[in-house]
Amino acid sequence: MIIMKTFIITICSILLFSNTLLSNPKFGVSGQVKDKNSKDALMFCTVSVYSLTDSLVTGGITNEKRLL
């Protein structure tokens, strides 16, 4: 009986923590948006990041220093 309780608690703990760790991945995007021809960095460009299923993940706008 004690072994079964320990097993159930262990399985529940693994499922709880794996769901928490995998559900909120952290990442960052930084850099510059450059014109294809002139290679100049551009100000106030909209940048969007999509998942593999084409749903919007996050986005941003380059600033006056031309950085995202």
Assigned domain for 52 exists:
yes
Higher pLDDT, residue 17 or 42? 42
Assigned domain for 68 exists:
no
Assigned domain for 38 exists:
yes
| H or E element in which residue 6 lies | helix 2-23
Assigned domain for 18 exists:
yes
Q: Compute the distance between CA of residue 47 and CA of residue 66 in angstroms, rounded to an integer.
A: 12
Tens of pLDDT, residues 25-52: 666 777 888 888 998 888 888 888 888 8
Q: What are phi and psi of 21, to 5 degrees?
A: -70, -35
Assigned domain for 67 exists:
no
pLDDT score at 22: 53
Mean pLDDT of 51-58: 82
Assigned domain for 45 exists:
yes
DSSP bridge pairs for 50: 56
Q: Compute the distance between CA of residue 18 and CA of residue 21 in angstroms, rounded to an integer.
A: 5
How many domains does the chain contain in total? Answer: 1
Closest CA to 45 of 19, 68, 16, 17: 68
Q: Give residue 47's domain range.
A: 2-61
Write down the mean pLDDT value for the chain.
75
Assigned domain for 66 exists:
no
